[in-house]
Structure 1
């Protein structure tokens, strides 16, 4: 059976940036489905849980520093329910794609992952660019729309359409992802 990886992108956020006011209501809507999907992934032996998070320009920040800043930020209620469990992989990133400048490609290859499930923020930026990078690396791709948050609804919908049409992404809702 092909293994899957649930990749949680940029959910450890202090919400102190320019687009935070637009993003926060959309993140509020995805917290529960993301937390439920993470819980299901943790119960499965054939699913690897991987968090990839922006280091916000601090190249000395490790996982614990990124978690601390997010939980002490403006919306800890949007962070605490989806904090990464200690046993999962955590990769800091510096640009939009979860693959760029990280060891994600090596990790997925080493774990013999066939399907990458992307969740997190921002749909029209980091999720879209990560999806493209997964696609060009020949991974099957799933992006549950109820587990991604956009800054701009129109651009978020367009990004999802691009992922489905151009990258053959499965856009099933989160309750159907990892259900097999």
Structure 2
């Protein structure tokens, strides 16, 4: 069986990573930038599928469940939704027309699968193995990993390219990926 792989970059936005981000994991998230960019560039050079799964919220949305849990973040049309640092530079250098192997999905829930065409696009491309990077390990990475597992995808989580604002949650999630989802957890 041919294993086709894809990279999912989850929520590596200014609001989640930058020092002035509205719900930032701060320095731990900033410290993974180099490794995340290295993985991103590797997939790009090999023209492997890359999916950006990016949290989006509407200003003052009283119906969204996160409104009661977190301060406003990743509001549509704000720079808080831009990718952080060198990841945004990578996208800017692609120009207005991205190569066919790079995709962007707005998501309104923790999982990159919830309410997006991600699964359909993965299946159309014969993808069987997902690599996960981004933030937050114990929230959006976790929920995406569980959904991927339940849909039959093999998983690799890049320990040195995921992070959280909750160190205990980060550590717990890494063990959960390996012990409960059968994911390969790697570090360069």
TM-score, reference length from structure 2: 0.78
The residue number in structure 2 matching 1:53 is 54
- For 2:35 and 2:12, locate their aligned partners in 1 and report how far apart those are by CA, in whole Å: 13
The residue number in structure 1 matching 2:146 is 132
> Per residue, is there more helix in 1 or in 2?
1
1:101-153 CA distances to partner (integer Å, 9 max, x unpaired)? 10101011111001001110100000000000000000000001101011111
Shift of 1:76: 5.4
Q: Which runs of 5+ in 2 are unaligned?
A: 62-75
Paired residue for 2:107, among 55, 74, 93? 93
- For 1:126 and 1:99, locate their aligned partners in 2 and report how far apart those are by CA, in whole Å: 10
The residue number in structure 2 matching 1:38 is 40
**Following superposition of structure 1 onto structure 2, how do residues 98-109 of structure 1 map, counting pairs within 5 Å?**
98-109=112-123
The residue number in structure 2 matching 1:178 is none
Shift of 1:70: 3.9
1:37-63 CA distances to partner (integer Å, 9 max, x unpaired)? 000001114x2111110113369xxxx
Root mean square deviation of aligned Cα: 2.3
Shift of 1:13: 2.9
The residue number in structure 1 matching 2:126 is 112
Distance 1:66 1:54, change over 3 A: farther
Shift of 1:83: 3.5
- For 2:9 and 2:144, locate their aligned partners in 1 and report how far apart those are by CA, in whole Å: 11
- For 2:8 and 2:142, locate their aligned partners in 1 and report how far apart those are by CA, in whole Å: 13
Shift of 1:77: 3.3
Distance 1:162 1:111, change over 3 A: same
Q: Which runs of 5+ in 1 are unaligned?
A: 60-64, 176-180
Where 1:143 maps in the other structure, the secondary structure is: strand
- For 1:156 and 1:105, locate their aligned partners in 2 and report how far apart those are by CA, in whole Å: 25
- For 1:77 and 1:44, locate their aligned partners in 2 and report how far apart those are by CA, in whole Å: 23
Q: Which structure has the larger Rg over C-alpha atoms?
A: 2
